[in-house]
Amino acid sequence: MEYSEKVMEHFVHPHNVGKIDDADGVGEVGNAKCGDIMKMYLKIKDGIITDVKFNTYGCASAIATSSMATDLIMGQPVSEALKLTNKAVVEALDGLPAVKIHCSVLAEQAIKAAVRDYYDRNGIVYDEAQFHFNEAHEHGVEE
Amino acid sequence: MKVYADNAATTKISQTALDAMMPCFKEFYGNPSSLHSVGQDAFHAVRDARVQIANILNCSPDEIYFTSGGSESDNWAIKSTAELMAKKGKKHIISTKFEHHAVLHTLKYLERRGFEVTLLDVYENGIIRLDDLKNAIREDTALVTVMFANNEIGSVQPIREIGAICRERGVLFHTDAVQAVGHLPIDVEKDNIDMLSMSGHKFHGPKGVGALYCKKSIRLPNLIEGGAQERNRRAGTENVPAIVGMAAALKEANDNLEVNMKKLSEIRDHVIEGLLKIPYSRVNGDREQRLPGNVSMCFEGVEGESLLLYLDIVGIQASSGSACTSGSLDPSHVLLAIGLPHEVAHGSLRLSFCEENTIEEADYIIEQVPPIIERLRNMSPLWERLQKERGNA
Ligand SMILES: Cc1ncc(COP(=O)(O)O)c(C=O)c1O
Ligand code: FES
């Protein structure tokens, strides 16, 4: 197994690590039993993501995908962030080892969970299907 | 600073072993089965290596069979005895929950072929209880196989007592001593061992070579059909340089056994004491009955792969039993066998030392690990949750 240079770069110097105390949406996915938990904090203004931070417990790939995913949605409209797929994150990282793909699924789910939290808090109606999590995350997503 | 602390995974070959091997490539390159002088030189080199290893283990040279390593020796010993004893209607094998996969997967293979396997509990300290063993032995027990020392948590089993129980009950006893040979005193006679697996690369010998000790009274079935090598039991031209290198490395390890054990225990205990100062950390495996060079610890709220990769960046090579490092759903079966919850086992770190490591290196580790743990905890939602549960946040 080998990580790309991009993955190592984001693992060693991850972007957007931290918390946002007055976040507009927070999403947490994964579970301790499987060894991976990802938590995303979003600051949203006029439908645009103005700030994003993450906390992750997991492997190098989990940390790198969190970092890359936050980069990709920073400054984007919420509607665009919802379209972010784990595949796009993996590509941006120049690939992940096959056994590590599930860690990237977690990043996609964490963002979706945070957006859903934002919608719920603000009484915004949404289509449940948008949040239908990709079951490819082999660790399962029960909280 | 560069600190290689993954000697339980494999070791650097020693200069002594390398020096012993070179002539086998350049001078004694003949086939040991050839009758001419170049072949005979190779024959003598293999013979001398066998005698050397036999002397150290205290057995006869014709009880040593050279193999490709620990996995092969384990497979051969267990599958062969199973086959042998099945003919006598004995199809029950006793082992432990935390054996190396070379043993556990071999046992699974035998289960699929109608054998019954009992895996003994290893309790919190990673050591079996002799009463459990006594109670597990049945009329139809063919074999007891218990590892000498565990590769992950370093706990050492009461091998001599286990052997004595097996002798008394007329059951064959095999031990996977891959982590123990060259690191602990072993005497197959006094320790009541019928079969023992060893591997060259765990004590500064070359990789891909090992040996199986098998007591003469056991009619070991053939592993590979073909030529007459290894007393007709394992055909194929001998890996002369590797065999010679393994013997030289073992002799060196054995000559320095006491000094090395003392030095390594000091490094080990120093590192353990230093790292235990990290809050919510723990040591895995027995503190006394332990391999001299093994440190195995868990740090709550962090994940092992991230930990070991950050350590690698500061020049420290270690290993972990977290699920993420194994590429599977579960953390190491060894850590689960000693009763650790999954989330604790994910935060495991193994440092394994050899005599080339120094106290200065130990200090470097003690200095480097805590800030990495802190960094990982600071970004860990699990740590945040644990702190909240404990009322620390
Ligand atoms: C306890 C134990 N048994 C068996 C093996 C396998 O040895 P080898 O790599 O020589 O096949 C190892 C090494 O990883 C080990 O630690
Ligand atoms: S978080 Fe476990 S493999 Fe990535």
Residues 6+ apart with CB under 8 A from A20: A41, A42, A43, A51, A52, A53
Q: Give the pLDDT of chain B (393 residues) as one tens digit per residue.
A: 999 999 999 999 999 999 999 999 999 999 999 999 999 999 999 999 999 999 999 999 999 999 999 999 999 999 999 999 999 999 999 999 999 999 999 999 999 999 999 999 999 999 999 999 999 999 999 999 999 999 999 999 999 999 999 999 999 999 999 999 999 999 999 999 999 999 999 999 999 999 999 999 999 999 999 999 999 999 999 999 999 999 999 999 999 999 999 999 999 999 999 999 999 999 999 999 999 999 999 999 999 999 999 999 999 999 998 877 776 778 899 999 999 999 999 999 999 999 999 999 999 999 999 999 999 999 999 999 999 999 876
* Band of pLDDT at residue A71, cut at 50, 70 and 90: very high
Locate the ligand 2 atom nearest the alpha carbon of residue A60 and give its number: 4
Phi first, then psi: give them for residue A6, nearest 5 degrees: -60, -45
Using the mean position of ligand 1's atoms as its centre, give its distance from the Cα of residue B119 in Å.
19
DSSP calls for B174-219: EEE-TTTTTTS---TTTTT-SEEEEEGGGTTS-SS-EEEEE-TTS-
Which atom of ligand 1 lies nearest, measured to the CA of B149?
A: 1
A59: annotated active-site residue: no
CB atoms within 10 A of CB B56: 20
Angle at A14 between CA A10 and CA A17, to 5 degrees: 155
Closest by CA position to B303, among listed A128, A33, A70, A112: A33
Q: Is A13 on the interface with B (CB under 8 A)?
A: no
Q: Which helix (H) or strand (E) holds B226?
A: none
How distant, in Å, are the alpha carbons of A11, A101, A111, B252, B281 from that of B326? Answer: 19, 14, 27, 33, 22
- Are B175 and B146 spatial neighbours (Cβ–Cβ below 8 Å)? yes
B133 burial level (CB within 10 Å; 0-12, 13-18, 19+): buried
Is B321 within 8 Å of B345 (Cβ atoms)?
A: yes
Residue of B nearest to A13 (CA): B310
**Facing B329 at nearest CB: one of A18, A57, A139:** A139
- Of the candidates A34, A48, A59, A88, the residue annotated as catalytic is A34
| B112: CB partners within 8 A, 6+ apart | none
As for the ipTM of the complex, it is 0.90
Provide the percentage of residues in chain A whose pLDDT is more than 90.
77
State the pLDDT confidence band at A143, using cuts at 50, 70 and 90.
very low
Q: What is the pTM of this model?
A: 0.94
- Tell me, yes or no, if B340 comes closer than 8 A to chain A by beta carbon: no
Distance (Å, whole) CA B52 – CA B249: 11
Give burial (CB, 10 Å; 0-12/13-18/19+) of B252.
buried
For B246-298, what is each residue's pLDDT tens digit? 999 999 999 999 999 999 999 999 999 999 999 999 999 999 999 999 999 99
Q: Return the beta strands (E) in B85-194 as ranges.
A: 92-96, 116-120, 141-145, 172-176
Could you report the per-residue pLDDT of B140-190, keeping only the tens digit for each?
999 999 999 999 999 999 999 999 999 999 999 999 999 999 999 999 999
Q: Is A36 in the pocket of ligand 2 (CB under 6 A)?
A: yes
Q: State the pLDDT at residue A138.
A: 45
Nearest chain B residue (CA) to A28:
B381
* Helix H or strand E encompassing B316: strand B316-317
Count Cβ–Cβ pairs < 8 Å, chain A vs chain B. 74
